Amino acid sequence: MNYYYEIKKELIDNEINKRIKDYSKNKYELQKYLNVGKLLLEAGKHYGEGIINEYSLKLTKDLGRGYSKRNLWLMIRFYELTKKMQTLSAQLSWSHYCELLSLKQEEISYYIDIVEQQNLSVRQLRDKIKNNDYNRLPKSTKKKLQNKEIIKVKDLIKNPIIIKNKHNYEIISEKILQKLILEDIENFMKELGNSFCFIGSEYKIKIGDKYNYIDLFLYNIKFRCYVVIEFKITELKKEHTGQIEIYMNYIDKNIKTIDEDKTIGIIIVKKNDKYIMEYCSDRRIIAKEYKII
């Protein structure tokens, strides 16, 4: 087989297709790079790895830029990945995959799901990888994802939760922390996982003859449950779990409907005390640390 001829033919077909604006264009491009990756791998086995560099020089001369040795190796990696994962999402562009191909397979699977669910751009995906989204998941969650087990609300909450200090505040009070979160509420909800929607901040509830205010009140559409969040700039204390448990029970009694799941409580703290959480009687309460960047 004339591998170079076949590779060049696939890439020319792809360049022609790029000029056609239709829905299947992205899927067509991915398939072409998949075919090229397979051919390159076979050529490398037949002629040795040096043939990849030779083909890169010839393709650049014949077709122009975009066919560096690195890009050809990415196509090989793309083909190898597809064999392991069976199918890859056509919702991701080739540029998305180029950001992912240097990662481990379990990380790639996670980020593919996130791109699909949150419709992330290449830049947004790059930011998530840079912020170690996958590595900030609990070990138990990674195991669930690999074994394709059922995921719950608390499984996808990152630790630490990244909060951007866009105004470069030197002193972070609870009010400032809340302000930073509310100014970038969409990103904060994505730090918690998927399918969250905003209900209110400083949400007023009446317990007995006194008014109380929940720092942040959310709802998770996928898991059909309310989520109450409290912000603390100190390390976790036992009274924090008692306070949020009261709020959770209030929501369950007065707002939650019978077909919705029980309310989840999240305490955002400077430092988590695992001993307090170990002896916390309500397993719906989650404590996560935050990191200001």
Return per-residue pLDDT of the chain as tens, 293 residues: 788 888 888 888 887 776 655 656 788 899 999 999 999 999 999 999 899 999 999 999 999 888 999 999 999 999 999 988 877 788 899 999 999 999 999 999 999 999 998 889 999 999 999 999 999 999 999 999 999 899 999 999 999 999 999 999 999 999 999 999 999 999 999 999 989 999 999 999 999 999 999 999 999 999 999 999 999 999 999 999 999 999 999 999 999 999 999 999 999 999 999 889 988 889 999 999 999 99
Buried/exposed code over 25-53 (b: 16+ C-beta within 10 A; e: otherwise): eeeebbebbbbbbbbbbebbeeeeeebbe
What is the residue extent of each domain of the chain? 3-136, 139-292
Distances (CA, A) of 151 to 160, 222, 272: 19, 11, 23
> Is the Cα dihedral 84, 87, 92, 93 positive or negative?
positive
- Cβ–Cβ < 8 Å for 33, 18: no
Q: Are strands 225-231 and 210-220 parallel, antiparallel or unpaired?
A: antiparallel
Buried/exposed code over 108-128 (b: 16+ C-beta within 10 A; e: otherwise): bbbbbebbeeeebebeebeeb
Decide yes or no: CATH 3.40.50.360 for domain 139-292: no
